[in-house]
Structure 1
Amino acid sequence: MAGLLSGKVVCITGSSRGIGRACAVESANQGARGLILHYFGDAVTEAEIRTLQEEVEKRFPECKVATTPGDIADPATSSKIVEVGVAAFGRIDVLVSNVGICPFAEFLTMPHATWERTRAVNLDGSFFVTQAVANQMKSQTPQGGSIIGISSISALVGGELQCHYTPTKAGILSLMQSCAVALGKYNIRANAILPGTIATDINKEDLSDDAKREAMVKRTCLGRLGQPDDIAGPVVFLGSDLAKYVTGASLLVDGGLFVNLQ
């Protein structure tokens, strides 16, 4: 089918659920010819990725799917993602660096292991996969591609139980800005998306508090929390040729949460 991503190969990390899953489905809907779907690889994500693959291949038979598991904090995982993707499709046109964790924790009593794991997954993992895919984008013909880092509104504001998380998301924003500078000469664009409060597994427990959930809803201009597919549309835009002169940008997708100070 024709679409904004017609003929493109899209690689998505952390694609088994939430934002990553929504991006996979919408990329196929927008005409991507191939999806490289990374997932963690435990029993739960293994089952989730199989249902996603079945959904995509049933609904969008023109779109082929390659999958690969692994801990994104291990640089070998990123190398494997590129290897699997190139073997299946010959190139990678769009990377959505999406993996993220946020084990909410008090700052003063936070174990150092919690900080280290959050940083390793969110920031180190984004660096590793961006570097690996950018090298592929540089070497392929035609050269270039689009890299999209999923940052967060938390890159701009603080959170009492997020002293380990917010720095990683600020780091992803900064990584995309610098990569835009470093990679533009290879026709590689790099941009960040900053989701607001999106109803996913990462904040499921936090939002189970009805009073807190209602307060978060009231803070938005649009009067609702975000859904994963609210992020998929902006991802498709930045991956498409409509955004061919957009690099180093940050797109806040938060329903007006950030600007609603009153």
Structure 2
Amino acid sequence: MLLTDKIFAITGGASGIGRAAALEAARHGADIAITDIAPVEAAAPLLREIESLGRRALYVQGDVSKPETAGAFMAAIKEELGGLDVFVSNAGICPFHGFLDLPKEILTKTVEVNLLGAFYMVQAAARMMVDEGRGGSIIAVSSISALVGGEFQTHYTPTKAGVLSLMQSTAIALGRHDIRCNAILPGTIRTAINHDDLSDPTKAEAMMARIPLGRFGEAEDLAGPIVFLGSSMASYITGASLLVDGGCFVNLQ
């Protein structure tokens, strides 16, 4: 029970990595706040599952690319749950597309959601934590793509590098307030975001061959590391980046 009676908030929490992390945090004793673009009825089963674990659950529908969403989410957390201890910036998109004919609209939307959305939300969460004066943990879901390139991800990889850099800089800015800031860098994780990409068996086989653990990751593989970084077990870890990729990044031979 690493998060007993803590308040844990996450963006993009209605599905995939966010959903798995929210459930794992609830299992570890936290009350959960989630924001996502999904309608409330789509998130209802998840909220019931959290409540079945004896924890409170809050859902706020919203688009992280809009600055006002961050304020509305934090206000709801303060009113309904009473504060904030762990915040996870997880919401993101990855519309695969070639570089030379990449439409401006795809570039703009990817930057607005992945990078600006992360900034707005992290800033709002940090302001709440500073005002409350009890410290906290902020975790951003970056990507192995912050460290490597991708032919069809030229608009995506810079945003994830930016998220990693954001955590490094906020670790310095917020350390004096006892707020720790760290990044999680997932490798290839089976979620809706890459379902179509992994549906090509030849490509999937080639990608898996690079992973020493011999499998793609599942959303649940990120939940444990997120809970760990949010807990007191990581009390002297800040400005760090944790690869969760089955060893793919180091497999260069």
Q: Could you tell me the TM-score, scaled by structure 1's length? A: 0.95
Give runs of aligned pairs for residues 183-198 of structure 1, distance below 5 A.
Answer: 183-198=174-189
Task: Give the SS at the match of 2:171.
Answer: helix
Task: Give the SS at the match of 2:68.
Answer: helix
Structure 1 spans left out of the alignment, 5+ residues: none
Q: Deviations over 1:204-248 (max 9, x none)?
A: 000000111111111101000000010000000000000000000
Deviation at 1:41, TM superposition (A): 3.6
8 Å CA contact retained: 2:14, 2:38: no
Q: State the partner residue of 1:52.
A: 46
Task: Give the SS at the match of 1:204.
Answer: helix
Give runs of aligned pairs for residues 14-29 of structure 1, distance below 5 A.
Answer: 14-29=12-27
Worse-matched range after superposition: 153-162 or 87-96: 87-96
Q: Deviations over 1:129-182 (max 9, x none)?
A: 0000000000114x2100000000000000000000000000000000000000
| Aligned AA (2:115) | L
| Aligned AA (1:149) | A
Structure 2 spans left out of the alignment, 5+ residues: none
Deviation at 1:48, TM superposition (A): 3.0
Q: State the partner residue of 1:224.
A: 215
CA distance in 1, matches of 2:100, 2:197: 19
Deviation at 1:85, TM superposition (A): 0.4
8 Å CA contact retained: 2:189, 2:219: yes
8 Å CA contact retained: 1:17, 1:48: no
Deviation at 1:107, TM superposition (A): 0.5
8 Å CA contact retained: 1:198, 1:228: yes
Give runs of aligned pairs for residues 4-153 of structure 1, distance below 5 A.
Answer: 4-32=2-30, 34-42=31-39, 46-58=40-52, 60-61=53-54, 63-141=55-133, 143-153=134-144
CA distance in 1, matches of 2:33, 2:45: 15
Task: Give the SS at the match of 1:205.
Answer: helix
CA distance in 2, matches of 1:72, 1:26: 23
Structure 1 runs, 4 residues or longer, greater than 3 Å off: none
CA distance in 2, matches of 1:156, 1:255: 15
| Aligned AA (2:119) | F
Q: Percent identity?
A: 53
Q: State the partner residue of 1:201.
A: 192
CA distance in 1, matches of 2:212, 2:144: 15
Q: Which of 146, 156, 173 is the aligned partner of 1:155?
A: 146
Q: State the partner residue of 2:204.
A: 213
CA distance in 2, matches of 1:215, 1:138: 46
8 Å CA contact retained: 1:154, 1:169: yes
CA RMSD of superposed structures (Å):
0.8
Q: Deviations over 1:39-95 (max 9, x none)?
A: 1044xxx3331111011112x02x100110111000100001100101111110000
CA distance in 2, matches of 1:144, 1:199: 33
Q: Could you tell me the TM-score, scaled by structure 2's length? A: 0.98
